[in-house]
């Protein structure tokens, strides 16, 4: 893996850039896990972790779900930065595993225009595919990031 090239705290702080004002209103919204058996996972997350205050109205619960703030931990294994053949798997091809994180934005189209200017790689643009109004981009390691607006997501779900 090459010689140790770990970051100092000072260098890490310098690498963290001041957010662009175009990102006002963006929130880190979700980390997605693929589950094997919803009959086991749903009771675990509802009984063991006890989420509270989930609206019962379908549309309200969808908007609520896609409006929560979340945390993303970026874990670095020392030495990987010089590895010419890293062994990361983004989970979106076989064998499937981790899927993506999601970021809510006030305007998906405007966010995607900005990503294009920044030469960000797209997996899916807002008007591609069956699910309109959402996009997927890739981070430098190939992990997928969903770009969404809670109201748009609620509008995609039939009101039954």
* Binding site, annotated residues: 30, 34, 73, 77, 96, 100, 130-131, 146
Annotated binding site for substrate: 30, 34, 77, 96, 100, 130-131
| Residues composing the chain | 160
Active site residue 60: no
Which CA distances in Å does 99 have to 25, 29, 42, 79, 117? 24, 14, 18, 25, 25
Annotated binding-site ranges for Zn(2+): 30, 73, 100, 146
Question: Contact, 148 vs 103, CB < 8 A?
Answer: yes
Catalytic residue among 3, 11, 14, 146: 146
- Classify 52 as helix, strand or coil: coil
Which residues participate in catalysis according to the annotation?
A: 146
């Amino acid at each position: 893996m090459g010689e140790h090239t770990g970051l100092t705290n000072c260098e890490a702080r310098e690498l963290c850039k001041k957010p662009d004002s175009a990102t006002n209103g963006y929130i880190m919204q979700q980390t997605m896990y693929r589950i094997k058996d919803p009959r086991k996972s749903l009771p675990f997350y509802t009984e063991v972790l006890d989420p509270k205050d989930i609206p019962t109205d379908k549309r309200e619960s969808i908007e609520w779900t896609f409006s929560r703030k979340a945390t993303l931990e970026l874990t670095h294994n020392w030495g990987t930065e010089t590895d010419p053949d890293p062994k990361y798997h983004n989970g979106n091809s076989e064998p499937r595993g981790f899927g993506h994180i999601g970021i809510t934005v006030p305007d998906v189209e405007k966010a995607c225009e900005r990503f294009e200017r920044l030469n960000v790689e797209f997996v899916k643009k807002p008007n591609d595919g069956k699910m309109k109004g959402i996009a997927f981009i890739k981070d430098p390691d190939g992990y997928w990031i969903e770009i969404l607006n809670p109201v748009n997501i609620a509008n995609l779900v039939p009101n039954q």
